């Protein structure tokens, strides 16, 4: 017997135009509302239970099963409640719900399989009694192709409007155009097929446009949130978000009675990296360390967040994690950074971390109390040789190195001639760099005493490099007045294979009588004399008695900018120029550290000789 005999009494007429348009409008509104509510529920299922995977998967499965139930139920309503064309809307709503959830984000293969089972159930229901028709085979093959395409290329279809419409309309065409003559309460005619397919088309277009628009808004909101909440260099959470989060975590821990732990992290010898390689390399190291920490944290379950709380300082906050669990994670982070070489430009840099860990105590009044203990533990890690973890007052993995209080090394910095094209090097100045282990930094003292022989040995190496034949060296007042000093310097000059010009520099506070009695002894053998460490903010009157005996003076750029921000247009600075010009003294502006300093000197002072880190950054050794 023909399966259609049971439904022979049903009418075959399509929907009248007003009813058809009304159902189109209803399906449009249904699709819009369903997309909005379903996406909210799906996001809640993924976000609220992100740290509880069992609950997350359970809720996701329940959401999918409810949607499948709704889709199947709508088909049943169209079949059992309404007659023929009046049930078109419910069939399309059901098909829409069942196919819409196929593109849920982050689903596993078995979750997708549950959704495919829901589609297959309704698909088979519509072909019940007609499985021997070739149209069923073609429809089934088309469905498999469409469902397979949605799985394998889901990320390229989901938010691309035309791809989305194309993929879903392929399924819709396979469904509607290949239905048997009598299908789930419908007597299928060409007019019925056209009306059914048009309704599905409206919902597909609404879905594609809505998802594409919402995705663009989500991406823009994510970018804005990233800019507001994350450090732009390292992509760790920012210090401002850190203050907000830890306040919330502290209140939550007190109210719910769970653990709260913080790890304060400092990159060891980071200032050395900046001094030795430059700030661009330092930035690359910061980025690399943050990425390594974040990658290691992602391997561990639980609630933990990485924050950049200072220049080379980071913090990891652990919520509801025991101290043993934190110790394991922090040790893994420490080991990862220690083993990881970081590519920074043309260099490969290795570094280590010092870490201090502290957990919440019942008597703590704020998170600052917790962090203060973590910071104290961090200091203990540094004190015990760095590259260590301290939890409470116990330092793990300590490799104590007993350093002297400071290390000194000689460096040189160029003095440039700004009046010649290309700004060539006029001379090299011998400077002292002093590394202070307690503060992990290099200092450059302006007042120091270095034995003359030590300076001459360094100058010999400097001359051998071929970078200069003019060198400035520092003398203390005692060294300057020593009658043997000019002879020692002359002997050095005569012993060099190439011509050498030396200038001795003494502090501007040198005794006037000592300067007057000894300067000529240097100048007579071709060695110039210079005064250094001058401050433009101080009176010129104290300097004038010394000027007849010297060939050069040095002024600090910062003092000139502070005292004479308008440069040579300032009448008082003209007094300096009027005093120096008749004596033909060389004026060197030193301490030019950045582009603002350089612009000020070039545009407002027009001096000949310039010196500073902006032009020449001496290479410093890295110390372990």
> Which residues are identified as catalytic?
312
Checking phi first, is residue 390 left (phi over 0); if not, alpha (psi -120 to 50) or beta?
beta
> Can you tell me the distance from the alpha carbon of 556 to that of 571, in angstroms, rounded to the nearest whole number?
19
Cα 619 to chain centroid, rounded: 27
Tokens linked to 406: 């400071």
The alpha carbon dihedral of 77, 78, 84, 86 has a sign of positive
> Can you tell me the distance from the alpha carbon of 101 to that of 116, in angstroms, rounded to the nearest whole number?
10
Structural element, H or E, at residue 266: strand 260-267
Name the strands in the sheet holding 260-267, side by side, starting at the edge strand that comes first in the sequence.
303-308, 313-319, 260-267, 353-359, 389-391, 394-396
**Residue whose structure tokens are 């509302």:** 33
**Residue whose structure tokens are 């409008």:** 25
Cα 573 to chain centroid, rounded: 46
> Can you tell me the distance from the alpha carbon of 619 to that of 431, in angstroms, rounded to the nearest whole number?
12
> Can you tell me the distance from the alpha carbon of 57 to that of 49, in angstroms, rounded to the nearest whole number?
9
Cβ-in-10-Å burial (0-12, 13-18, 19+) of 17 comes to: exposed
Give residues with Cβ within 8 angstroms of 145, minimum separation 6.
170
CA–CA distances in Å: residue 380 to residues 351, 352, 528: 19, 15, 50
> Can you tell me the distance from the alpha carbon of 491 to that of 161, in angstroms, rounded to the nearest whole number?
85
Cα 23 to chain centroid, rounded: 52
């Amino acid at each position: 017997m023909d399966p259609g005999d049971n439904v022979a009494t049903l009418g075959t007429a399509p929907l009248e135009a007003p009813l058809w348009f009304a159902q189109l409008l209803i399906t449009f509104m249904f699709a819009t509302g369903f997309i909005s509510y379903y996406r909210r529920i799906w996001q809640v299922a993924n976000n609220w239970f992100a740290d509880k995977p069992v609950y997350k998967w359970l809720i996701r499965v329940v959401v999918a099963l409810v949607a499948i139930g709704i889709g199947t139920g709508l088909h049943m309503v169209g079949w059992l409640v309404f007659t023929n064309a009046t049930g078109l809307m419910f069939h399309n709503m059901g098909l829409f719900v069942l196919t819409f959830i196929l593109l849920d984000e982050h689903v596993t293969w078995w979750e997708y399989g549950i959704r495919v089972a829901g589609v297959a159930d309704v698909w088979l229901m519509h072909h019940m009694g007609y499985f021997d028709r070739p149209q069923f085979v073609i429809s089934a093959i088309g469905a498999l192709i469409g469902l397979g395409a949605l799985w394998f290329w889901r990320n390229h279809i989901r938010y691309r409007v035309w791809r989305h419409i194309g993929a879903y309309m392929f399924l819709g065409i396979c469904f509607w155009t290949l239905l048997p003559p009598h299908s789930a309460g419908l007597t299928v005619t060409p007019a019925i097929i056209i009306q059914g397919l048009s309704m599905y088309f409206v919902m597909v277009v609404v879905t594609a446009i809505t998802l594409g628009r919402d995705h663009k808004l989500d991406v823009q909101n994510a970018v804005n949130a990233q800019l507001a909440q994350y450090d732009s260099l390292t992509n760790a959470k920012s210090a401002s978000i850190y203050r907000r989060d830890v306040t919330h975590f502290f209140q939550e821990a007190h109210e719910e009675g769970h653990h709260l732990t913080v790890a304060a992290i400092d990159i060891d010898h980071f200032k050395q990296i900046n001094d030795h390689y430059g700030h661009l390399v330092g930035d690359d190291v910061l980025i690399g360390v943050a990425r390594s920490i974040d990658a290691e944290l992602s391997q561990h379950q639980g609630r933990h967040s990485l924050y950049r709380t200072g220049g080379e300082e980071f913090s990891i906050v652990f919520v509801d994690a025991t101290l043993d669990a934190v110790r394991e994670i922090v040790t893994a982070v420490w080991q990862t950074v220690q083993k990881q070489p970081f590519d920074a430009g043309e260099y490969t840099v290795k570094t280590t971390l010092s870490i201090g860990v502290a957990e919440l105590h019942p008597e703590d009044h704020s998170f600052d109390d917790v962090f203060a203990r973590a910071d104290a533990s961090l200091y203990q890690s540094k004190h015990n040789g760095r590259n260590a973890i301290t939890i409470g007052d116990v330092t793990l993995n300590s490799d104590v190195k007993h350093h002297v209080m400071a290390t000194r090394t000689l460096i040189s910095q160029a003095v440039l001639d700004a009046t010649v094209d290309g700004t060539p090097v006029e001379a090299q100045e011998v400077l002292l760099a002093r590394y202070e282990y307690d503060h992990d930094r290099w200092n450059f003292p302006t007042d120091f005493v270095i034995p003359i022989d030590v300076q001459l040995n360094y100058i010999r190496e400097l001359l051998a490099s071929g970078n200069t034949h003019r060198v400035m060296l520092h003398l203390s007042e005692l060294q300057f007045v020593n009658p043997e000093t000019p002879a020692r310097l002359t002997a050095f000059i005569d012993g060099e294979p190439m011509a050498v010009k030396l200038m001795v520099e003494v502090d501007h506070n040198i005794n006037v009588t000592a300067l007057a009695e000894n300067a000529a002894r240097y100048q007579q053998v071709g060695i110039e004399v210079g005064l250094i460490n001058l401050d433009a903010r101080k009176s010129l009157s104290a300097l004038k008695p010394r000027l007849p005996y010297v060939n050069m003076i040095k002024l600090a750029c910062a003092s000139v900018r502070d005292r004479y921000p308008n440069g040579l247009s300032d009448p008082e600075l003209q007094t300096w120029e009027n005093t120096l010009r008749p004596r033909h003294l060389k004026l060197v502006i030193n301490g030019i550290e950045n582009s603002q300093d350089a612009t000020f000197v070039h545009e407002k002072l027009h001096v000949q000789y310039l010196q500073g880190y902006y032009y020449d950054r001496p290479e410093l050794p890295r110390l372990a």
